[in-house]
Amino acid sequence: MDSVSALLDSIADVGRDATRGGYSRGVYTSAELTLRTWFEEEARRRGLAFETDRNGILWGWWDAGSGGRTGSLVTGSHVDSVPGGGAYDGPLGVASAFAAVDILRERGIRPNRALAVAVFPEEEGSRFGVPCLGSRLLTGAIDADAARNLTDADGLTFAEASRAAGIDPAHLGRDDDTLRTIGDFVELHVEQGRGLIDLDSAVAVGSTILGHGRWRLSVSGQGNHAGTTLMADRADPMIAAAQIVLAIRNAARAEDGARATVGRLQPVPGGTNVIASRVDLWLDVRHADDAVTAALVERIHGQAQKAAAFEGCSVSLTMESQSGTVSFDPALQRTLRNSLKGAPLLPTGAGHDAGVLAGVLPTAMLFIRNPTGVSHSPEEFVERDDADAGATALADVLEDLL
Ligand code: GLV
Ligand code: MN
Ligand code: MN
């Protein structure tokens, strides 16, 4: 039997990013493929039947004696990361799922319905732009053609990257056969804020996921020479982009409960002595009320148009993904809280595959304390004792649900 920490230690060298710090494990990059192989080996080592479905979701099945896989209990998470991310966002849920299987076996549990550990591809959307791409494909929340045509920073399509990873892109899309196998889904995840520090608890049961979406703003101007173009003669989209970033911060501050972020900005062509011809910036907006998010994005668009026009530039806005606020299944929440006597309820501002699956089947989440309160950063952390407490909590929950 492996502890969660031992499992995480075994992948601690995979995808380290010497430039950014932390881990860069983009979906279907060599780092993420190594982790997918690790998952297969850990599944097989436990005698779980390993499978890859047509959307690239990995499965390790602990089949019950009879009754097939319809309505099974599924747990798991993802192994891809944001650029320069931490070691726990995703892998903690997968390692804890294996540890929970070990604990259940030690307890002599014989499941009377099948139990599976799953890994969803491109949860972060850090390579192809759309988060939770695997679960969106599985549930039909994204059109298969739209997914196939997504491109990464090098212009490679998701279809091409899938094919290179051994997944036939022709078969991507809503998968009712696989959906029927999932009766309930429970995802364990590192907490990505300070909620559990403040509650002085190692484990919480998830209550809600904040609505969130991504938009791309493309600001176009006149590419030109940094030395020969007089300041008065410029249509520099970088200046407009700078004004837009500030306008976004101010607009979000003026809206109670809103969060808006520009974490990625790309000048084209991107040279020190080149006035950019275009600047793309990606906007992440979150609010509990989807109508407020829509109004806030519209306001930001209007301010971006003004800022662009003032600099002799133009701007276009494209929505790349959107996910409404999710409340996890109340009955499942109650079951989890009964299993984990006294575990607090906790909302999250982060997105998860459990949130996408919540649209079509009962899902729940467990959050594990992060003593730094920091995530999407190398500083994300989980103490060994808390990781063990999390695996035990997951085993308790799975045992009761089985
Ligand atoms: C994923 O962690 C997200 O919330 O964007
Ligand atoms: Mn995650
Ligand atoms: Mn994340």
Joined tokens for residue 260: 């808006």
Atom of ligand 1 nearest to the CA of 350: 4
Tell me if 124 CB under 6 Å of ligand 1.
Answer: yes
Q: Domains of the chain (ranges plus CATH)?
A: 4-210+325-401 (3.40.630.10), 211-323 (3.30.70.360)
Tell me if 353 CB under 6 Å of ligand 1.
Answer: no
Tell me, in angstroms, the distance from the centre of ligand 3 to residue 19's CA. 19
Digit-by-digit pLDDT tens for the chain (402 residues) are: 889 999 999 999 999 999 999 999 999 999 999 999 999 999 999 999 999 999 999 999 999 977 799 999 999 999 999 999 999 999 999 999 999 999 999 999 998 899 999 999 999 999 999 999 999 999 999 999 999 999 999 999 999 999 999 999 999 999 999 999 999 999 999 999 999 999 999 999 999 999 999 999 999 999 999 999 999 999 999 999 999 999 999 999 999 999 999 999 999 999 999 999 999 999 999 999 999 999 999 999 999 999 999 999 999 999 999 999 999 999 999 999 999 998 999 999 999 999 999 999 999 999 999 999 999 999 999 999 999 999 999 999 999 999
Distance CA 306, CA 244 (A): 9
Tell me if 131 CB under 6 Å of ligand 1.
Answer: yes
User: Whole-prediction pTM value?
Assistant: 0.97
Tell me if 350 CB under 6 Å of ligand 1.
Answer: yes
Distances 203 to 38, 267, 364 between C-alpha atoms, Å: 26, 42, 13
Tell me if 351 CB under 6 Å of ligand 1.
Answer: yes
Tell me, in angstroms, the distance from the centre of ligand 2 to residue 206's CA. 13
Tell me, in angstroms, the distance from the centre of ligand 1 to residue 381's CA. 16
